[in-house]
Amino acid sequence: AKNGLENYACNLKNSLRDETLKNKFTTSDREKLTEIVDSTISWLEKNPNSTKEDILTKQKELESVAMPI
């Protein structure tokens, strides 16, 4: 679960940096995504021993912001 969340967050971050994709996001959406992705990556680094349930909850939080965009 941890690797899945980490990969998802990193893929989103890379999409936000990709020149061909980043212009498809509004500035507001880019800011929201950047904030939640950075927050998620930081959380993962600070909580290396988190439970599967905690990780899945964090992934749902990230998806709830990313999916509508």
Which pLDDT score is estimated for 21? 87
Identify residue 61 by its one-letter amino acid code.
E
Question: How many Cα atoms sit within 13 Å of 58 on the Cβ side?
Answer: 25
Is 24's pLDDT higher than 90?
Answer: no
Number of residues that make up the chain: 69
What number of H helices and E strands is found in the chain?
4, 0
Query: Which alpha helices (H) appear in the chain, and where do they start and end?
Result: 2-17, 19-22, 27-46, 52-66
pLDDT of residue 69: 82
The answer, as to whether pTM is greater than 0.75, is yes
Nearest C-alpha neighbor of 69 from the set 1, 11, 17, 12: 12
